[in-house]
Structure 1
Amino acid sequence: MINGRLQLVRISKRQIRPNEKVGVFLFTKSDLVGELSSGAAILEAFSFDLYAGLNSTYHDIADFNVFTERPIIGLTHEDYFIPLPYFVAEAMYESPYYWMFADKAYCAKAAKNRGNAAEDLVSDYISGFFGAGNVQRNVNIKIKKSTTLTDVDILAYSEDTAFIFQVKSKKLTQKSKKGDLEQITADFEKAVRIAKDQADLCIIALQNPEDYNFELPGGETYSPRKVSKFETVIVLLDQFPAMSHLTHILFGDELDTTPVAFGIFDLETLLAYLKTPGRFIDYIHRRTLYSKQYRAANELQYLGYYLKHGLEKLEENAFVYITPEYGQIMDAMQQQANIHEVKRDFPSKIGRNEPCPCGSGLKFKKCHG
């Protein structure tokens, strides 16, 4: 950093000695484009000329850095430098959204497509886990035939439980990405608060189906199943920082329990490690019911603690902060052929033919025994 501006070292292939490791990050245009017809356009969109002074507005850590949007550095017309390949993948995922949302004529359609894509992903995960016959997407709930109350993004059934999955694609604003806590909180509230309010209305309607009309996107009438238990899960497309902490901050003491909210890829991880609908029901139920007694920075820490110890009811006013190492339990589990080999601290006397205390619905000998 010189005079408040980021200065990049000018590098060219002629300056690189054969034994210097930086050479592995140098590419020619043909290396990157190959025979791909759209390759040149992609390269132009995600690269910048080292000598063009495009980072002239970058003065401190909170300012926009063109390198995050265009992480391929052009040295010459034919030579390119990619110091952080991961940034290229991240930019290819993130940047198009900003281009689309900058187009006012296309902005609304882009937001709709983004939301549909998020629901598609979650629907695929949930249908594969609960079974397609137990999952219904986009159920419109109406007070009268012409007055829409709300809608369920994804409704899933297992045993005597209905899951209301509300999927939100609210994007982190650029100000949030700079680390502005107030803006992060505002973005998060717009996503989670709306989802929680919608889910509450859905549960009321599902508990009293005779008072409401349920319709599918094509206008067909839908008859919800009669169940006695309801769980809300809020799934966000963007991975907000410290999502669990933000949820507690957002709702504070206004609710007896704090809703479960996590990222879309956290959902994929949960389904992979919990394995069965029974265990997923038990996990979400305990996460919600004892949300004021356990606190963790992210969902993987909750999951690791659950797999190791369970989430049991604590004594009144007792509190557990789940430390980061519990998020690493999954790394250890990856080395095992079966995740059930990771033992939980269950009571010592459990009959092998008794139901497993983890809530999977399996016998103990076939689960954690």
Structure 2
Amino acid sequence: MRLGPHKTSKTEAEVFAEIFALCSSPGYAHAIAYICHRDNFVAFDSEMKADDMQRLFASDRLIRTEITTLIGLLVQNAVDLSLPSPETMQAYVDRTLQLMEELHAAIGMPMFENMTASRSGQSDEAASQRGAFLREPIFYGGESAYGFQYRDFSPEKYGKDNDWLRRKMGFDIQAATAVVRAIGERQNINVMEAHKAMPPDAPASWTILPGFYLASEELALASGVPIEEVRAVLDAFTLKGRNTTFTDATAFNSISATPLIPLPDGRVLLFQYYSIVEALYESPFYWMGADDTYKAKAFKHRGEFTESFTARRLAKVFGGANVRSNIDVFHGKNKAGEIDVLVTFGDRVIVVQAKSKRLTLEARKGNDGQIEADFQKAIADSYEQGLLCARRILDGDCALRDSAGAEVKLVWAPKEVFILNVVADHYPALSFQAGQFLKPEVSDGIRPPFIMDVFLLDAMTEMLETPLRLLSYINQRVLQADRLHLAHELVALSFHLKQNLWLSPENSLVMLGDDISSDLDLAMTVRRDGVPGKRTPDGILTKFAGTAFERLITQIEKKSDPAAVELGFLLLSIGEETCRHIDEAIHQITRRAKVDGKLHDFTVGIGETGEGICLHCNPKSSDEAADRLAAHCHLRKYTQKAHKWIGLCLNTDESIRMGVVLDFEWEQSDEMDSQTATMQQRKGGAVPQKPFVKWTRDKTGRNESCPCGSGLKYKKCHLGNAP
């Protein structure tokens, strides 16, 4: 979200009128082309890097909705393609940036005034729910979808509507997608050629505008789609009329639905490639909605897409056997609720409610009642349904049945239920609105809801490819919901990939800038568009590659029993320093046990709540090792007054042998006080993620092999200088 000035002396209508006058200037199209080239294209050498994307987050950059506003006003007159002088061009650009800042200030005035009043203790609690307040985050909030997601998801979204598309539009969705893909490829080539064509010694002739022209013949060649279908696709997305309904920044802008601008020579002009892929994903639904004989089927297909896409992406991570669609919840003989997608992993359950509702035009314009009504239909209703199902599942007094009526039995009694509410379209300022309008119920067994669109779900399941990592992120994200301020959820995901989504208790509110998402943006672009670069951001997925800690996580990820899930959650929520302590501990205790055949262990406590882990490497019999581990964990848990303690016994090859989870409230006991009197006490006040560490090992005899593994006797190696 780009922050603008807090005050302006002009009204929004006055600023909008000045922008319209500027856009009507001779040759202004060249200024828009320059701005699009400057603010939407990323230049790189042999390999794209996250730093190359930083220009996309510059404070003086215009975001897509602002540029679309300029284009929407440009086309209200016949587009003048005459080339202005360099001085006039620079004046156009400077004036554009000034006016767009003034527009932002005018639209954002209610929000900024409320923030000022809040600091002085005079804010109106209801102000944050007024439409005037919400127009700013809705208009200036970041994009939640990548262009390639719009492009690549469209065939699945409209695949069932191909008969209608062929009959009414003259093409199917696969052909349209191929043409749109070719548009992106050709625009990149054309822009580079236009750049190279500028004479170095003749700046008066410089313009990038020809790079945005497109011809049907070149697109037919690039896409392999017959020329007749190419022309039909272009016609469907070509602007008709003068966009006269676009009278303020949040009014309907035809250029969003039909971003191609017709030129006199038969070619079309496209300023922003993102606009055509978004239109490909969204506009066909409105075409079908205008057909009274088909719109009911179109609505049905749209809902089916949301559910099937969600189930397929989650099955990629959790496996098909653990993901079920269309589950009915029965309480006795009565149907108590419906679950669109049900996911199980150990004793954790995910209840997904998928909706295809979106923010309407009236809501975008700031209509108070419409904003709340849209949110109620898209999010609140589905959350209430998910919450009802979650309660029944936790109570254990319900039966789950699939669409065929067969009972779905849960292997483990559920400990926690996560509620995901998924929408099919970009929903501006979704996280912000959820914070304003949704009052979730939170208990020990029901986590706060995670509100998202299909684009975030896609990115999450792409980057967090195992059940443990994905579920751990969901858990951390919903627990931090009230403390994070961000424009869109991709920022939080990128932050997590870089350094784990952990926030110090000292920080009551954390603001994450949009530029944090550059690492995720790069990784997704590399994976989906084939751009050369890093497929995985440096961070939690790379720092411990090849280490004992990473091997431990990998083993846990292959299990789904409650103890493994509990340990995995804890290990994936701790800081880097603690992870390195555990990594070194695994090396040490397994090496020493291999040398002397005795028990060696390591204890690490985490956080002010006293959660902790005991790692044992014990070559003794399984029963003896299990008893020793359980006893040690009970004593350590009591010493730290913790509500949870986890023990893990490893073999000497670092493989997991057994585990124990102690999860119950601490109670004082005279007997336990006596047993733990000599145990090391943790010094109070440690900051979470800063571990206390305790090593123990059986005493090594003077003539025994040294635990360091040198092969020498202890007395000739480390006796007196113990490692």
Smaller-chain TM-score range?
A: 0.7 to 0.9
Q: Give the residue type in structure 2 aligned to 1:233.
A: L
Equivalent position of 1:322 in the other structure: 511
Count how many residue pairs are aligned between Structure 1 and Structure 2. 352
Determine if contact 2:358/2:426 at 8 Å carries over to the other structure: no
Residue number among 578, 581, 596 corresponding to 1:350 in the alignment: 581
Determine if contact 1:304/1:326 at 8 Å carries over to the other structure: yes
Q: Give the residue type in structure 1 aligned to 2:462.
A: A
Matches within 5 A, 1:56-205: 56-76=244-264, 78-145=266-333, 147-178=334-365, 183-205=370-392
Match of 1:241, SS?
A: coil
Moved more, 306-315 or 319-328: 306-315
Determine if contact 1:307/1:342 at 8 Å carries over to the other structure: no
Q: Give the residue type in structure 2 aligned to 1:328.
A: S
CA-to-partner distance for each residue in 1:25-77, whole Å, 9 max, x for gaps? 3333433456244333323222135xxx4323333323322222222222247
Equivalent position of 1:7 in the other structure: 77
Match of 1:341, SS?
A: coil
Moved more, 294-303 or 166-175: 294-303
Match of 1:59, SS?
A: coil
Residue number among 261, 275, 278 corresponding to 2:465 in the alignment: 275
CA-to-partner distance for each residue in 1:207-244, whole Å, 9 max, x for gaps? 244x4342212233332343222111112212222222
Match of 2:458, SS?
A: helix
Question: Are 2:484 and 1:294 equivalent residues in the alignment?
Answer: yes
Q: Which has the larger radius of gyration?
A: 2
More strand by share: 1
The structural deviation recorded for 1:301 is 2.5
RMSD: 3.6
Determine if contact 1:206/1:224 at 8 Å carries over to the other structure: no
Match of 1:99, SS?
A: helix
CA-to-partner distance for each residue in 1:263-286, whole Å, 9 max, x for gaps? 111112222333321122222222
Equivalent position of 2:595 in the other structure: none
The structural deviation recorded for 1:139 is 0.5
The structural deviation recorded for 1:21 is 3.3
Match of 2:232, SS?
A: helix
Determine if contact 2:429/2:487 at 8 Å carries over to the other structure: yes
Aligned in 2, Cα 1:282/1:144: closer, same or farther, shift over 3 Å? same
Q: 5+ unaligned residues in a row in structure 2: which ranges?
A: 1-19, 25-72, 83-193, 199-206, 527-532, 545-573, 587-601, 607-612, 614-647, 656-723
Q: Give the residue type in structure 1 aligned to 2:79.
A: V
The structural deviation recorded for 1:309 is 4.5
Determine if contact 1:138/1:152 at 8 Å carries over to the other structure: yes
State the TM-score, normalized to the length of structure 1. Answer: 0.81
Determine if contact 1:248/1:258 at 8 Å carries over to the other structure: no
**Cα distance in 1, alignment partners of residues 365 and 269 from structure 2:** 25
**Cα distance in 2, alignment partners of residues 23 and 318 from structure 1:** 50
Match of 2:481, SS?
A: coil
**Cα distance in 1, alignment partners of residues 409 and 575 from structure 2:** 42
The structural deviation recorded for 1:153 is 1.0
Determine if contact 1:140/1:217 at 8 Å carries over to the other structure: yes
Aligned in 2, Cα 1:300/1:41: closer, same or farther, shift over 3 Å? closer
The structural deviation recorded for 1:198 is 1.2
Q: Give the residue type in structure 2 aligned to 1:107.
A: K
Q: 5+ unaligned residues in a row in structure 1: which ranges?
A: none
Equivalent position of 2:409 in the other structure: 223
Aligned in 2, Cα 1:36/1:133: closer, same or farther, shift over 3 Å? farther
Determine if contact 1:71/1:82 at 8 Å carries over to the other structure: yes
Moved more, 34-43 or 243-252: 34-43
**Cα distance in 2, alignment partners of residues 260 and 306 from structure 1:** 15
Equivalent position of 1:21 in the other structure: 208
**Cα distance in 1, alignment partners of residues 226 and 535 from structure 2:** 41
